[in-house]
Amino acid sequence: MTVEIYYYLPPFGKYDFEAVLVGPAPDCLQLEHKLGTHRWHPETERKGITKDPGYIIASVDGIEEVIEHRERGDVFYISDDPELTRELKRP
């Protein structure tokens, strides 16, 4: 099964990260909708937010993931790079 994940960074509010999981075509039904928070990954802060690739740490229901944007645009990846995910274990 192939699904699509979308995320948005709303401008204001208690939550600043919104994720939507959409099922496969042809129905493309919304399977899940979650609210959470995000912060810049330290690697992105170090090199600057305008440089690619860019990373954020998203937290939803107590689970954190590193989201990687290899270039500007709509496509993103959930990173499993040990150098990047090491930050998830820090307090």
Q: Which two tokens stand for residue 69?
A: 């944007």
Beta bridge partners of 38: 58
Local mean pLDDT, 10-residue blocks, the chain (91 residues): 81 82 92 92 92 94 94 90 89 64
Count of domains forming the chain: 1
| Number of H-type helices and E-type strands within the chain | 2, 6
> What pLDDT was estimated at residue 91?
64
State the Cα angle at 72 between 68 and 78, rounded to 5°. Answer: 15
State the Cα angle at 10 between 82 and 22, rounded to 5°. Answer: 70
> What pLDDT was estimated at residue 74?
85
